[in-house]
Structure 1
Amino acid sequence: MKRIFPLLLTLLTATVLHAQSYYWVMLTDKGNAVFDPYNYFDTHALARYQACGADLHDLSNYPLDSDYTKQVNDLACEELGASRWLNAMAVKATPDQAERIGALPFVKAVLAIRSDAQLAQHDNDNADAPSDGKNATRLTDQLKRMQGHLFVRNGLDGSGLRIAVFDGGFPHVDTHPAFAHLRDGKRIVDTWNFPNKKADVYGWNSHGTMTLSCITGIFNGRQLGLATGAEVMLYRTEVELEPAKEEVWWMMAMERADQYGANIVSSSLGYGKERYYTTDMDGTSLVARAANMAARKGMLVCNSAGNEGTENQWKTIITPADADSVLCIGGTTSSLTQYNHIYFSSYGPSADGRMKPNVSAFGHALAATPSKDSVTYVDGTSFSCPLVAGFAACAWQSNRNLSAMQMKEAIERSGDLYPYFDYALGYGVPQASFFTETRQTADPTFRFEESTDSVTVYIPEPGCRTTVFYNKQRPGGMLDHYANLAIESRTPVRIRFHKASLDSCTLNVWFDGYTNSYLLTAADQVRWSDTSLPFRPNVASEDGDATHSFRLNRALADNKPSARGIGGRWHRELYVDFGSMVNTESEELTLHGFSSTAHIGLRHVRALGKYYSLGAAFEWGRQRYNLDKTSNNGLDTRFGLDADHDVKFKQLYHNDWSLEVFQRVCFVRGGLLSRGIYWDLGFYGSYSNFHYKLATKKNNGVPAMEVDITNPAFDGRYFWNWGMTTRIAYDIVGIYARYRMTTCHIADDAVCPIRLPRLEAGIELNF
């Protein structure tokens, strides 16, 4: 038992080094694969290909070469799936197997898969909505905000279009009254459960039930989504316990949606801080590439922007919402009278400077819930996305001659802020009138007034409640600053900007449906080039009654993620350990029962990558050794203890201050604090002191004795120690072990040897 803990650490290290991981195996070509598109594609898919002019015989549609896949499978532990579009296989393999797979002549690259799908659902109040009874169908506010009544009036309900929904499960969709019209009309045309490899999707995560209802739901006379006449395809792609596979399943779902004729994809999933960095949100991830490819094949892909607006280590959109061809959808508050970005909705732009999100919709919505087959209010861009997907189906029904990219552009142009945009709301909330009525040119609602040193936005008729949007746009098109200003005034309002605050940028302003822009003249640009002032307006009304407040006031620099906190470059952890000392060697002092230990400390963790970190910790600890009172030890002789004494207890308290250095490997992200499942391995050094307690009872004339001494003043080697540490934890709770490498002697071996146990183990709470 002498080397038991080092041996266990060695075995654990070897296990981690040879652990099975997930990989994309990218192939060089399709080899001898053959393909018959008319046998592979559904008739709806064939019609879509013909309508958009895509090539049915495109090489991306061909299957993978069977000989290639066999050779890879012979070397791998398991095949997770395959992507025709990427010409790639997803496999489970050890690092050694992955290296051998990479050496195959037809393998272009082997890429590690480490991802975690994020459901773009924010914490919600789960407030059940009251039932209205079975009256005539009425629109909920989330649909009124998009002028959904105009689609209803014109008989546009998404009929003739297919919408594929990617999510974590669809419990009760086969029984919930909100989807009775889908079941009765046989409009659920395809289902597939990618994790379980079967058609049943009517279970698991209720998130999919909620998002589907925002596309097509009708409950007790209330219409939850606009596309009540569309056909739907339900694909389960997300499993919390197997996050590394979710990106594979998302890719496979996209290809199945293509095969079975989807026109629109609604994905309330995405990938962000668990795998990527904000600089990666540039449309180049594998899922972003697949989304762009789907657009070329005639599908409109709608994806949630994400709920990272308040995440200091992220803030920006997630992928595949960053893809150029994807309609990225942000969130607004649920008001028909006020126009605000909902606080958690992720901000744009993409990492390469493209405008995102594209449009927005309610981020607080009424949705069906499997609980009691009812409805509830929920939060998240998870619900903004399907609301717009349902809108898109009705809009596309109004003009089936548009391609997917033309429809994406049309939805952008239908936004109620267009042509104004910002990185919180995009072009605003899509409006049905763009597709059902002749759009009128907006009448001017303000004008620019210029003086020597300033430009003023003059609003002659502000009304009691006024919302003004403005931004500062660089010559290259990116926004340097944008704001949403709420003003209350009964008299004309002037919003003044100093010219020195504009630099060479364009001032864009939107108010009450009208947009206009102002750019400094060349002479003014030269005049003010050496002067820099904050981009901050002065607001005043003619009679001085104006009050104003910023509902949003944001600069591009505000998107910079914080280096601190989980997901950043470094973070701190406060932890407490509770455990027990354990005998592992025969020479050790025998313990009696539970010998409790406790530690409290602070760790500093520095991320060197998404899954590897180094850290240091400083802690105070105490171990209480409950010594076997029936066994003799060297200190008995020192204190005159003999067989005539009736021992009550023998206790040795070991106090130490420790400094630890360690490495951390994260296997899976997740949990309350997003730490996921991780393993730490390190070394510690400590300075120690001891406190010895001994008590006996009076026995046959032998008087009772008590000993209470700190740091026994005789020869010993116990002040300085070092050892190894390890922890395996999930988020805030885990198990730990410490093994002291030094032989801790309380006294000289020749006089009264006491060798303390080395191993300590217990549980840890990490905050």
Structure 2
Amino acid sequence: MKTQLTFLCLLFSFITNAQEDAWVYFTDKPDATYYMNNPLEMLTQRALDRRTTQNINLDNLDIPIASSYMNQIKNATGITVMAKSKWLNALHIRGSQANIQALTSLGFVDRVLFANHSLNPISKFFNRNYTNKDEGENETLANYNYGNSSNQIQMLNGHLLHQQDFTGQGKVIAVFDAGFPGVNTAAPFQRLFDNDLILGGYNFPDRNTDIYTRNSHGTNVLSTMGGYVDGQLVGTAPDAEYYLFITEDVAGENPVEESYWVEALEMADSLGVDVVNSSLGYADYDNTSYSYAYSQRNGQVGFASRGASLAVSKGIVCVISAGNDGNKTEKHISIPADADNILTIGAVTSTEAYASFSSIGPSFDGRVKPDVCARGQAATVSSTTGNITTSNGTSFSSPILAGMVATFWSAVPNLTAAEVIQFVRESADQFATPDNFKGYGVPDFQLALNNALSTTSFELEIVKIYPNPVNKKLTIESSNNAEGKFTLYNNLGMKVLEINITSISQSVQLDNLSSGIYLYDFSSNNSTLQGKLIKQ
């Protein structure tokens, strides 16, 4: 009996002292006033400019976690701080169940949630109810010899945007992955360095700036966006700028990787990043108590999912791979692919058929997932040594699509992140009839561009310019009979038309102009209207 009692005591001691992962959430941000008055203390100028362009105000999410709160948690008995999130006002911590639970006695601690779902009180999550290519002619300014990568770009009509010299210029992409060895030495990435397009990055598991290390997965992923080998591989956004973030530790599967992921997202926001690609997903952890059931994949349970859902409110488009579980018993999208307000990407073959390994939707609360698809079966990628080869996975359909998002956005830079997401969805070939395998289908980025330009408001208080796109006749309508000058430029900046507007409604014949995208300028007294015009 005494032996059994000793054994039970030891067992109880082992259970209560076993190391658990958890998130501790705080009640407030006492330093908010200071940071609101000093925004450059928390965001770069580029990040602030991105907010201004999209009419996004600073809010409490932007305020860093109170250092006094962090220090008290760090000094608490038996607690190790692994990561932090200002958006969710939380720290990822590790310690015994008892030591973690003891933190709830601190006045500034709102709650603690364990990664082990069985240790948390039962919650009821809000469930929402959802009801479930035109190829235009454009002036060719550039031609690329895509080689074997031609199919993965052309199925998205990405080559048409490239021909108009839209290749991601002025847009910044952050890549979240497992490592980037060879990026600084292999030939397919040399063009990025020659043009100063690699802006830096961070290695979250190692807590240093050594990004050209660890697993080669990120190298393969980056090549589909920024790689360039004439006649073999051209990325979908060869002239975008890039930050490289290592958030994945392939040595094991632990939810701290979700916290690294959210940290990287917040860092990307502070640096002014426009598009995030993440070819990572979380469903099964080494400790199965941490794993996610399908019922938890509703965008509101996963720590990374909740972070991802906030990105669009900061002006960022998150592009995330759906996962590669289509052939498994549990086939559904993983975390954070279930997030709201993002683009979740499935995989198709070279003929745009569903790739059987691609994880399916919907999210548990019934939203269409994946959102759209790109080629993920036998996608053309670069190895760490610069060899051009093929690989399978939504890991590659996601960056192929993310690069096209940046390229599309570079053509219409004044769109908001939410508008970009919607134009991409609406351009897909199954938009009217989405399914659980391909979502809204394969996007057509030329159609998305046409739609974006045609729905942009071309109104001032004094003038309307329509239709856009235009075929033969353009109408310039003045509400106050304001006289002005209308000037039209081609993509090379050459003036192709200039007329004086002298009546309330005046028509301009454009029969002699070639099809393509033009820039216009209308000036009248103290007012100026500028924009883009599609000539069909």
Do they fold alike, i.e. is TM over 0.5? yes
Contact 2:146 2:234 in 1 (8 A): no
For the pair 1:321 / 2:331, whether they are aligned, the reply is no
Deviations 1:357-380 (A, max 9, x none): 11101112111111x331221111
Q: CA deviation at 1:407?
A: 0.4
Summarize deviations over 1:118-149 as a string: whole Å, max 9, x none. Answer: xxxxxxxxxxxxxxxxx955453211211222
SS in structure 1 at match of 2:243: strand
Number of matched residues? 413
Question: What are the superposed Cα offsets for residues 727-746 of structure 1, whole Å, 9 maximum, x if unpaired?
Answer: xxxxxxxxxxxxxxxxxxxx
Q: Give yes or no for the alignment of 1:59 onto 2:76.
A: no
Aligned pair in 2 of structure 1 residues 70, 376: CA closer, same or farther (>3 Å)?
Answer: same
Partner of 1:358: 371
**For 1:94-105, what aligned pairs fall within 5 Å after superposition?**
94-105=96-107
The structural deviation recorded for 1:223 is 3.1
Tell me if structure 1 keeps the 8 A contact 2:79–2:100.
Answer: no
- Conservation of the 8 A alpha-carbon contact between 1:398 and 1:435: no
Residues 16, 98 of structure 2: 8 Å contact kept: no
Q: Is 1:270–1:306's contact at 8 Å kept on the other side of the alignment? A: yes
Relative contact order (alpha carbons < 8 A, sep ≥ 6): 1 or 2 greater? 2
Match of residue 472 from structure 2 = none
2:179 partner SS? coil
Confirm or deny: 8 A CA contact 1:154 1:436 kept in the other structure.
Answer: no
- SS of alignment partner, residue 373 of structure 1: coil
More strand by percentage: 1
Aligned equivalents of 1:211, 1:102: Cα separation in 2: 42
C-alpha displacement of 1:5: 11
Amino acid at match of 1:268: S
Q: Distance in 2 between matches of 1:429 and 1:103?
A: 52
In structure 2, the residue matched to 1:196 is 206
The residue number in structure 1 matching 2:161 is 151
Q: Is 1:378 matched with 2:391?
A: yes
Shift of 1:401: 1.6
- Deviations 1:255-274 (CA, angstroms, capped at 9, x unpaired): 00000011001011122244
In structure 1, which of residues 283, 294, 304 is the aligned counterpart of residue 321 of structure 2?
A: 304
The Cα shift of 1:397 comes to 1.0
- Unaligned 5+ segments in structure 1 are 116-134, 440-767
Amino acid at match of 1:332: V
Q: Does 1:331 pair with 2:347?
A: yes
Per the alignment, residue 444 of structure 2 pairs with 431
Residue pairs, 1:374-413, within 5 angstroms: 374-413=387-426
Paired with 1:369 and 1:5, the residues of 2 have a C-alpha distance of 58
Equivalent residue, structure 1, for 2:280 = 269
- Give the Cα separation in 1 of the matches to 2:29 and 2:365: 32
Q: Following the alignment from structure 2 to structure 1, what is the Cα–Cα distance between the partners of residues 183 and 116?
A: 31
Correspondent of 1:280 among 268, 282, 296: 296
The alpha carbon displacement at 1:200 in A equals 0.9
Task: For residue 84 of structure 2, give the secondary structure of its aligned residue in structure 1.
Answer: strand
Cα distance in 2 between the residues matched to 1:62 and 1:196: 25
User: Deviation at 1:279?
Assistant: 1.0
Kept in 2: contact 1:114–1:244 (CA 8 A)? no
How far, CA to CA, are the matches of 2:182 and 2:309 in structure 1? 32
Per-residue deviation, residues 313-348 of structure 1 (Å, max 9, x unmatched): x2111122112201011111123xxx4110011111
* Cα shift at 1:301: 0.5
- Of residues 76, 79, 82, the one that matches 2:81 is 79
Q: Which residue of 1 aligns with 2:43?
A: 41
1:4, CA displacement in angstroms?
Answer: 9.5
Q: Secondary structure at the match of 1:60?
A: helix
Partner of 1:69: 70
Give a deviation string over 1:516-563, Cα, whole Å, max 9, x none.
xxxxxxxxxxxxxxxxxxxxxxxxxxxxxxxxxxxxxxxxxxxxxxxx
Aligned partner of 1:431: which letter? D
Q: Match of 1:673?
A: none
Please give the alpha-carbon distance, in whole angstroms, between the structure 2 residues aligned to 1:149 and 1:244. 39
- Which residue identity does 2:258 align to in structure 1? E
Counterparts of 2:192 and 2:3 in 1: how far apart (Å)? 63
Task: Name stretches of at least 5 consecutive residues in structure 2 with no aligned partner.
Answer: 118-143, 286-290, 453-536
The question of whether the paired residues in 2 share the 8 Å contact of 1:331 and 1:341 is answered with: yes
1:305 and 1:92 map into 2 onto residues whose CA distance is 29
Task: State how far apart, in whole Å, the 2-side matches of 1:4 and 1:201 are.
Answer: 53
What aligned pairs does 1:297-696 form with structure 2 within 5 A after superposition?
297-312=314-329, 314-335=330-351, 339-364=352-377, 365-370=379-384, 372-437=385-450
Alpha-carbon displacement from aligned partner over 1:554-574 (angstroms, at most 9, x marks no partner): xxxxxxxxxxxxxxxxxxxxx
More helix by share: 2
C-alpha contact 2:423 2:451 (8 A) present in aligned 1: no
Q: Secondary structure at the match of 2:199?
A: strand
Letter in 2 for 1:42: T
CA distance in 2, matches of 1:219, 1:79: 43
Q: Measure, in 2, the Cα distance between the counterparts of 1:210 and 1:354.
A: 30
Larger radius of gyration: 1
Amino acid at match of 1:330: G
CA gap of 1:241–1:21, structure 2 versus 1, over 3 A, is: farther
Residue 45 of structure 1 aligns to a residue in which SS? Answer: helix
> Residue by residue, what CA displacement relative to the aligned partner does 1:677-718 show, whole Å, maximum 9, x if unpaired?
xxxxxxxxxxxxxxxxxxxxxxxxxxxxxxxxxxxxxxxxxx
Distance 1:407 1:438, change over 3 A: closer
Where 1:253 maps in the other structure, the secondary structure is helix
Aligned to 1:240: 250
SS class of match (2:320): strand
Give the partner amino acid of 2:64. P
> Is the partner of 1:21 in helix, strand or coil?
strand
Moved over 3 A (4+): 3-13, 135-139, 435-439
Query: Shift in Å at residue 8 of structure 1?
Result: 7.7
> Does the CA contact (< 8 Å) of 1:224 and 1:366 recur in 2?
no
- How far 1:436 moved relative to its partner? 5.0
Structure 1 position 175 matched with structure 2 position 185: yes
Q: Distance in 1 between matches of 2:312 and 2:69?
A: 28
Distance 2:155 2:354 in 1: 14
Does the CA-based 8 Å contact 2:232-2:388 persist in structure 1? no
Q: Could you report, residue by residue, the CA deviation over 1:174-218 in whole angstroms, capped at 9, with x for unpaired residues?
A: 111111111111111121000111111111111101111111211
User: How far is the alpha carbon of 1:91 from its aligned partner?
Assistant: 1.4
TM-score by length of structure 1 reads 0.52
Q: 1:410 to 1:329 in 2, by over 3 A?
A: same
Query: Cα RMSD between the aligned structures?
Result: 2.3
Paired residues of 2:83 and 2:259 also in contact (CA < 8 A) = yes
Q: Which residue identity does 1:308 align to in structure 2?
A: D
Instruction: Report the TM-score, using the length of structure 2 for normalisation.
Output: 0.73
1:236 Cα offset (Å): 0.3
1:657-678 per-residue CA deviation (whole Å, 9 max, x = no partner) reads xxxxxxxxxxxxxxxxxxxxxx
1:291 aligns with 2:291: no
Partner of 2:18: 19
1:166 aligns with 2:176: yes
TM superposition shift of 1:12: 6.1
Counterpart of 1:24, as a letter, is W
Kindly tell me: are residues 256 and 8 of structure 1, through their superposed partners in 2, closer, same or farther at Cα, counting changes over 3 Å?
A: same
User: Is 1:320–1:326's contact at 8 Å kept on the other side of the alignment?
Assistant: no
1:236-294 Cα offsets, whole Å, 9 max, x none, are 00113352310110010000000001100101112224421111111103222211211
Q: Deviations over 1:43-100 (max 9, x none)?
A: 22111111111122x1111111222222211114311121110111111221121121
Counterpart residue number, 1:600: none
